[in-house]
Amino acid sequence: MKFRALAAACAGMALALNLVLENILVSAKERMVLIPNFLDFAPTWNRGVSFSLFSQGETAGRYILIAVLAAIVVGVGIMAWRAGNNLTAMGYGLVVGGALGNLLDRSRYGAVFDYLFLHLGREPLFVFNFPDAAITMGVVLLIADNLMAGQSATAH
């Protein structure tokens, strides 16, 4: 039961922090260097999913994408509900919270508000937002948990 509460807390914190950040940042229009040659604030609207894949310009496509992403969130939420340790609960919780943040954007605005532009000098890498970072951190925790479980299994 404590793992469920931890997963829910991580999801709630990721979603709440996203809402606070977006309320502050969505009105900012000007690009700004955060870390020279590495990270800029560069607000943009992403109508697709990761790396702007499956970009949706039509209303029907947008609703289909929302439905598919909502189903994925439900599936990951079920895995969070079944988490058996702290790392798994935190990992799934962060994935759910980040996904809910992006899903909320897509539902409200028809696109996801991305604002962090990662690049190496002049070489662009990608633009992302806090929910994307939460999802990535959640996946890192799940991988770490899996690796540690594999190590303990081979130690026996």
pLDDT tens per residue, range 67-114: 988 999 999 999 999 999 999 999 999 999 999 999 999 999 988 999
- CA distances in angstroms from 87 to 19, 73, 92, listed in the order given: 24, 18, 9
Percent of the chain with pLDDT over 70: 90
Q: Which among 133, 128, 124 is positioned nearest to 52, based on CA atoms?
A: 128
Contacts of 23 (CB under 8 A, 6+ apart): none
- State yes or no: is 132 an active-site residue: yes
Task: Give me the pLDDT at residue 156, please.
Answer: 55
pTM for this predicted structure: 0.88
Q: What are phi and psi of 119, to 5 degrees?
A: -155, 160
Rounded Cα distance between 150 and 156, Å, is 10
Summarize the confidence of residues 44-60 as an average pLDDT: 66
Q: Which member of 40, 105, 132, 145 is catalytic?
A: 132
